[in-house]
Amino acid sequence: MSDHESATTPEPGAHELARLYLDALEDVMEPEEYADLRTLVLTLIGAMAEPAGPDDPPSRVPLDIDLTPAVHDEWLTVMGILGSGRMDQTIVDVGDGTRTVVDSGLAADPEALAAFRAEVRERNRIRGQEREFLDGIEAGLS
């Protein structure tokens, strides 16, 4: 197995755990939301299966989905399962409207969670500044 494959392939069992989780969701989610979630998951798995490197980024697939809060939260959970091979994630709000998934250990540690939230808010602030800067350059070129 190449270094690239080991970095992008979920740990053994992760796909099976995600499938079990999705099977359970199918019974409790609205059919349209479940279909959107399934589309997101299949698109991700397809992108992970593509060879990708600096000169070969994964395909960008336009998705016609409605990313409702329920779909978003379940998407985060499935990504957590695929990324960790575990099902003990917790979704947290970092305080600026950004929601993300963390492991149960971080979620249970108030000090570590506060530091994590502060770090994410700072990264989002910097990204916002970078986006404004790049938008200004783009506007100047138009």
Q: Check residue 51 and give its pLDDT.
A: 63
The whole-model pTM stands at: 0.69
pLDDT-based confidence at 13, cuts 50/70/90? confident
- Residue type at 97 in one-letter notation: G
* 2 residue type, one letter: S
What pLDDT was estimated at residue 105? Answer: 92
Give the separation between CA 131 and CA 139, rounded to whole angstroms: 12
- What is the average pLDDT score of the chain? 83
Produce one character per residue of 46-79: b if its CB has 16 or more CB atoms within 10 Å, e if not.
Answer: eeeeeeeeeeeeeeeeeeebeeeebbeebbbbbb
